[in-house]
Amino acid sequence: VQLQASGGGLVQPGGSLRLSCAASGSIFRINTMGWYRQAPGKQRELVATITSSSSTNYAVSVKGRFTISRDNTKNTVYLRMNSLKPEDTAIYHCNANVLTTERIWRDYWGQGTQVTVSS
């Protein structure tokens, strides 16, 4: 199973970006998908998660600014980020809890995509 993230980049404060993460490979079913981020010198932290039934959970710091969604037909999770702040600068990693075709549950991570918020 592979997770391919895209959509990061450089944006000015107050701007917007949309991240995408597509899962592929030996997938039978995907449960929760999510986004995490890691800023330089800091630990990785949860940004947002979404279950297979589209229940969502957000970090307090992004609530009201970020929206997580998913397309189950494409095994893809999205993160729409509005009103970006310099403190949102980090590498963003996607995660998926996958039931493989071997009927084994495993967590998978994408390679990360850099988001830089700066004027």
pLDDT in tens, 13-34: 999 999 999 999 999 999 999 9
- Runs of H (alpha helix) within 21-119: none
Please, which pLDDT band fits residue 106 given cuts at 50, 70 and 90?
very high
Tokens 């449960």 belong to which residue?
31
CB atoms within 10 A of CB 8: 18
Q: What percent of the chain has pLDDT over 70?
A: 100
Tell me 103's DSSP state.
Answer: S
- Spatial neighbors of 57 by CB under 8 A, at least 6 apart, are 46, 48, 49, 50
